């Protein structure tokens, strides 16, 4: 009987440990939540006011990209470049739109031959981006966030 009561008391103490609730800190919850995000996907893409009529996420993204590329194309078409030899190149612009809606070019990948023929090309691109109409920033989980886009630009000057 003595052994049975000691065993019963031990089982009660051991089982109490299984019933205890684990406390999780807010930092642990936040860490787990942050790992479940897809940081490369935006809830709402940056937008121009002309894109208000678009209803789906895909339409809004297409509208944004169309207006951005049309603006750059028009700016480049209005320039009168004088070259000594034909230039044909595809530039890669890295465009950043901050959470406040400010736009800037952070990187321009261009061939050296193009730079030598069009030395002020980067300045023209920066000026074109600076003259964009108001952009509403991207949104992720209800917060305005900075977003980055890589934009190919085809240059062909004869």
Determine the Cα–Cα distance for residues 43 and 40; give it in Å rounded to an integer.
Answer: 10
Domain for residue 66, yes or no? yes
Domain for residue 150, yes or no? yes
Average pLDDT over the chain, rounded to whole?
84
Domain for residue 22, yes or no? no
In this prediction, residue 78 carries a pLDDT of 86
Domain for residue 119, yes or no? yes
In this prediction, residue 92 carries a pLDDT of 92
Domain for residue 14, yes or no? no
SS3 content of the chain, % helix, strand, coil (to 5): 45, 25, 30
Q: Is 84 helix (H, G, I), strand (E, B) or coil?
A: coil
Does residue 145 surpass a pLDDT of 80?
yes
Residues with Cβ < 8 Å from 89, sequence gap 6 or more? 110, 111, 113, 114, 154, 155
Phi and psi, residue 48, nearest 5°: -95, 160
Q: What pTM, to 2 d.p., does this model score?
A: 0.71
In this prediction, residue 98 carries a pLDDT of 93
Determine the Cα–Cα distance for residues 17 and 32; give it in Å rounded to an integer.
Answer: 25
Domain for residue 40, yes or no? no
Does residue 23 surpass a pLDDT of 80?
no
pLDDT digits (tens, 9 = 90+) for 35-56: 777 767 788 889 998 988 888 8
Does residue 20 surpass a pLDDT of 90?
no
pLDDT digits (tens, 9 = 90+) for 48-91: 989 888 888 889 889 988 998 899 888 888 888 787 888 888 88
Domain total in the chain: 1
In this prediction, residue 63 carries a pLDDT of 92
Does residue 113 surpass a pLDDT of 90?
no
Residue 70 structural domain = 47-157
Phi and psi, residue 133, nearest 5°: -65, 170
């Amino acid at each position: 009987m003595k052994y049975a009561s000691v065993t019963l008391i031990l089982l009660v103490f051991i089982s109490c440990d299984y019933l205890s609730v684990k406390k999780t800190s807010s930092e642990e919850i936040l860490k787990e939540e942050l790992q479940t995000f897809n940081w490369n996907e935006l809830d709402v893409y940056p937008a121009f006011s002309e894109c208000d009529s678009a209803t789906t996420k895909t339409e809004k993204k297409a509208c944004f990209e169309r207006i951005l590329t049309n603006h750059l194309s028009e700016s480049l078409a209005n320039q009168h470049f004088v070259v000594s030899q034909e230039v044909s190149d595809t530039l890669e612009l890295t465009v950043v739109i901050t959470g406040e809606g400010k736009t800037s070019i952070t990187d321009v990948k261009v061939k050296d031959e193009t730079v030598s023929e069009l030395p002020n090309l980067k300045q023209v691109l920066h000026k074109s981006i600076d003259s964009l109409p108001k952009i509403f920033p991207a949104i992720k989980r209800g917060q305005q966030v900075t977003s980055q886009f890589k934009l190919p630009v085809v240059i062909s000057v004869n």
